[in-house]
């Protein structure tokens, strides 16, 4: 089972605590994304502990393809497989309905894919998605949904949102069936529902009202940060959050920049995930408390200072900008590892700072000081 406790609010910003089968975490929090059971950039489960990760996210679709969810189940589940004893959330594979649009076909029964690896045909239904996530043994299984492109025709978005509701109901029934049959590695696994509706606020609100009736342990807002203007994203969150249960965690999927996170915490969001910190790091783009820097810039070749003088991560505590610049320019794998480690530490520290600000009734000041500052390039 899972339980969310709302500890404090400041405006719409929420300080909470979430307990699930593999531990208790503090929110607002950031899911560190390890799509295939690992953080791209060479970070291990031990590294994640050292950089303040509370919750890891892996992807159903990718792990189903390789090494196979049955293989992972046979090895005791994803926690044992990747040697991570903290909570894990698994994406349902629904985002691949969007991102692999040229390789799939959608029907009421589910989605037919062409594997991006070898082109073989496979089928994922809501039931199959939950079966895979059950084999993985995650703590939170995300419902199978369709993420539509923004913008999309209103008629199609209405049809898609209604189908996503029906798929959610099928996901819930399937997890109940698996638990009753004694077939779950993680008997405490729970499902979060996902709100969809494109950029149509009224469709979003009606969809949220409908899925709220299922009384799930948590709810996500999906299908944003996929091409729409950022203010449109904020407007959708403003509209939907009023209809989300106040005693359940609110998860904004796939977002975002440090400024996005601060602004969305101000709008009542509790959980976040994004590949940005690790992806940007692999290109030498690093986050600091004064903005972002590109370590590939020539100005850092002889710079003996750390990436961020105000950062206490294992990288900034030991290595210079000059050394990391050299590693990235030379194509050394260590350079990628150190950059990813720093960026994920920064994101986890950002969440800790947000939590502290809410506790001290200083979140409004924190927002004014950092929301725009962290968008700057230095």
Using DSSP bridges, classify how beta strands 190-195 and 23-27 pair: parallel, antiparallel or unpaired.
Answer: unpaired
Q: Report the side by side order of strands in the sheet with 3-10.
A: 3-10, 13-20, 23-27
Q: For residues 44 and 341, is the Cβ–Cβ distance under 8 A? A: no
- Active-site position among 47, 69, 91, 139: 91
- Give the three-class secondary structure for 339: helix
Please say if 91 is a catalytic residue. Answer: yes
- Active-site position among 47, 69, 145, 273: 273
Q: What whole-number distance in Å separates Cα of residue 116 and Cα of residue 36?
A: 14
**Sign of the torsion angle spanned by Cα atoms 229, 141, 89, 367:** positive
CA atoms within 13 A on the CB side of 130: 26
Residue 145 CB contacts under 8 Å (≥ 6 apart), including other chains: 92, 94, 97, 164, 167, 168, 194, 196, 222
Per the structure block, which two tokens stand in for 79? Answer: 């926690």
Q: What whole-number distance in Å separates Cα of residue 96 and Cα of residue 106?
A: 11
- Mutual angle of helices 333-359 and 258-265, in 10-degree steps: 20
**Sign of the torsion angle spanned by Cα atoms 211, 212, 218, 219:** positive
Virtual CA dihedral for 336, 337, 338, 339, nearest 10 degrees? Answer: 50
Residue 121 CB contacts under 8 Å (≥ 6 apart), including other chains: 112, 113, 114, 115
Using DSSP bridges, classify how beta strands 104-107 and 88-91 pair: parallel, antiparallel or unpaired.
Answer: unpaired
Q: What phi, psi does 116 have (nearest 5°)?
A: -75, -10
> Which residues does the annotation mark as catalytic?
91, 273
């Amino acid at each position: 089972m899972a339980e969310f406790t709302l500890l404090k609010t400041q405006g719409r910003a929420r300080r909470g605590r979430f307990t699930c089968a593999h531990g208790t975490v503090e929110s607002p929090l950031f899911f560190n994304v390890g799509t295939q059971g690992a953080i791209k950039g060479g970070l291990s489960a031990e590294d994640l502990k050292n950089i303040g990760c509370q919750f890891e996210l892996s992807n159903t679709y990718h792990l189903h393809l390789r090494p196979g969810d049955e293989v992972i189940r046979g090895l005791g589940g994803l926690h044992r497989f990747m040697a991570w004893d903290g909570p894990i959330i698994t994406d349902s594979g629904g985002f691949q309905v969007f991102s692999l649009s040229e390789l799939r076909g959608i029907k009421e029964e589910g989605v037919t894919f062409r594997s991006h690896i070898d082109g073989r045909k496979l089928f994922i239904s809501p039931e199959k998605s939950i079966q895979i996530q059950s084999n993985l043994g995650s703590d939170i299984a995300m419902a199978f949904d369709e993420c539509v492109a923004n913008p999309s025709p209103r008629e199609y978005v209405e049809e898609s949102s209604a189908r996503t509701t029906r798929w959610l109901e099928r996901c819930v029934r399937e997890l109940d069936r698996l638990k009753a049959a004694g077939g779950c590695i993680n008997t405490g696994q729970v499902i979060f529902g996902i709100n969809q509706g494109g950029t149509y606020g009224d469709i979003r609100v009606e969809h949220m009202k409908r899925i709220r009736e299922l009384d799930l342990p948590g709810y996500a807002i999906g299908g944003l940060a996929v091409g729409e203007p950022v203010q449109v994203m904020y407007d959708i969150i403003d509209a939907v959050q009023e209809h989300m249960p106040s005693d359940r965690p609110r998860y904004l999927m796939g977002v975002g920049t440090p400024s996005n996170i601060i602004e969305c915490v101000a709008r009542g969001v509790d959980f976040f995930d994004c590949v940005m910190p690790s992806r940007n790091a692999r290109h030498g783009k690093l986050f600091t408390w004064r903005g972002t820097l590109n370590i590939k810039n020539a100005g850092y070749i002889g710079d003996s200072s750390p990436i961020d003088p105000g950062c206490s991560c294992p990288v900034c505590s030991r290595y210079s900008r000059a050394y990391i610049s050299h590693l990235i320019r030379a194509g050394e794998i260590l350079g990628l590892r150190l950059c990813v480690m720093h960026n994920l530490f920064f994101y986890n520290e950002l969440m800790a700072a947000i939590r502290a600000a809410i506790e001290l009734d200083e979140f409004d000041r924190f927002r004014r000081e950092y929301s725009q500052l962290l968008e700057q390039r230095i």
